[in-house]
Structure 1
Amino acid sequence: MSITMTMLLSLLLMKLCMIISKKSNNHEKMTPFECGFDPKSSSRTPFSMQFFMIAIIFLIFDVEIIIIMPTIKMMQMTNLKTWMFTSSMFIMILILGLYHEWKNGILEWIN
């Protein structure tokens, strides 16, 4: 009974959100605003895919550093053999990921 009510409530809320968030295709709202003048260039300029990939890799390694930080404290709390195995596997996964990115040419800035 409660699962049915939960599903019904979820479907009702999803339908309500779809009705409320209807987007209009108004051309004036899609154009960039530049102090009332026509824009000099397109506001939808493409960006460098290499820069995007380097930024994503930076974020990934930043998160990995945050994951590595507690391992120092865990070394004191756990068996040294378990800690060494876990840390070695984590570092090995990082090295394999870096090798994969290097092999696919993601880290090459100039083509």
Structure 2
Amino acid sequence: MASVAAGYLPILLFLGVALVLSSAFVFLPMLVGRLTGTHQPNPEKLAEYECGFPAFEDSRAQFDVRFYLIAILFIIFDLEAAFLYPWAVSLGGIGFVGWLSMMIFLVELAVGFIYAWKKGALEWE
């Protein structure tokens, strides 16, 4: 029974070190910012950064559907790139069946892209 518990000791040490390091990476920059005086909020620092909407307003505000369409399309094509790299690396080992399955996947992706293009999902007014 003691040998089974001793087998988990490296895992617990790894988790402990990961917890300490992740906490340090989160809280130390905030602490240094407070101590060095760089923490001076002003309207420019609190302004919108990427989305273009005010950051602090009613949470029930309606967003344009185009934001979601662009996000979904980005995820689809990002996953495609994530699948292509490991496939290309292991192509020699998986043979013709692996090549054919990826070609089917790419054709399905191209059909989806053409459909989104024809429906106007990629156009921004």
Matched, 1:69 2:85: yes
Alpha-carbon spacing, 1:42–1:67, altered in 2? closer, same or farther (3 Å): same
CA 1:84–1:43 in 2, change beyond 3 Å: closer, same or farther? Answer: closer
The residue that corresponds to 1:51 in the other structure is 67
Higher relative CO (Cα under 8 Å, sequence separation at least 6) belongs to 1
- Percent same amino acid at aligned positions? 32
Q: Shift of the alpha carbon at 1:83?
A: 3.4
In 2, the alpha carbon distance for the partners of 1:45 and 1:102 equals: 28
Q: 1:85 aligns with which of 100, 106, 121?
A: 100
Q: Which runs of 5+ in 2 are unaligned?
A: 1-56
Task: Supply the RMSD in Å over aligned alpha carbons.
Answer: 2.1
Matching residue of 1:109: 124
Unpaired segments ≥5 residues, structure 1: 1-40
Q: TM (normalized to structure 1)?
A: 0.53
2:114 maps to 99
What SS does structure 2 have at the residue aligned with 1:45?
coil
Following superposition, the deviation at residue 96 of structure 1 comes to 0.4
Residue 94 of structure 1, CA deviation: 0.8
- Deviation track 1:58-97 (CA, whole Å, cap 9, x = no partner) reads 1121122212221112212122x33332222111111001
